[in-house]
């Protein structure tokens, strides 16, 4: 992520969409865990792909053989409450500046 920050692709980690090209032995382990991975990595979006799906400009991981990492600007709009970039920002007419997750939290709080 530091290389993406220096190249001005992102400003900080929540501006990022990280695609992880997992080696065959790990793909099943992390399947369906994209939301957890984005939280742990402190990025807006985490995407899993087979290593053959990851673009040529991905960085090869050193700790895990076969791991490829691609950092891009996150898609969608920035939620004014949690600062996560999401495609769901602007979808709700009553609360157009927040993502679905924050909208649900605000609704539960009665806001």
For residue range 21-45, what is the model confidence (pLDDT) as tens digits? Answer: 888 788 888 889 999 999 999 999 9
Assigned CATH for 1-75 = 3.30.2320.20
| Residue 51: pLDDT over 70 | no
pLDDT of residue 54: 65
Among 21-35, 48-62, 97-111, name the one with the lowest average pLDDT: 48-62
Contacting residues for 33 by C-beta, under 8 A, at least 6 apart: 48
Quote the tokens at residue 55.
Answer: 């673009």
pLDDT classification of 103: cutoffs 50, 70, 90: very high
Domain boundaries, the chain: 1-75, 78-111
Q: What are phi and psi of 39, to 5 degrees?
A: -70, -45
Among 32-36, 52-56, 64-68, 84-88, name the one with the lowest average pLDDT: 52-56
- Spatial strand order in the sheet of 16-22: 45-50, 16-22, 68-73, 59-60
13, 41 in Cβ contact below 8 A? yes
Q: How many helices (H) and strands (E) does the chain have?
A: 4, 6
């Amino acid at each position: 992520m530091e290389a993406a920050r220096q190249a001005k692709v992102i400003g900080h980690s929540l501006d990022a969409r990280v695609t992880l090209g997992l080696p065959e032995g790990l793909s099943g382990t992390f399947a369906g865990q994209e939301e957890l991975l984005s939280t742990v990595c402190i990025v807006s979006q985490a995407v899993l792909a087979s290593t053959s799906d990851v673009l040529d400009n991905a960085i090869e991981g050193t700790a895990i053989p076969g791991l490829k990492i691609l950092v891009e600007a996150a898609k969608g709009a920035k939620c004014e409450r949690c600062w996560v970039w999401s495609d769901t920002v602007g979808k709700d007419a009553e609360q157009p500046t927040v993502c679905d997750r924050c909208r649900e939290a605000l609704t539960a709080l009665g806001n």
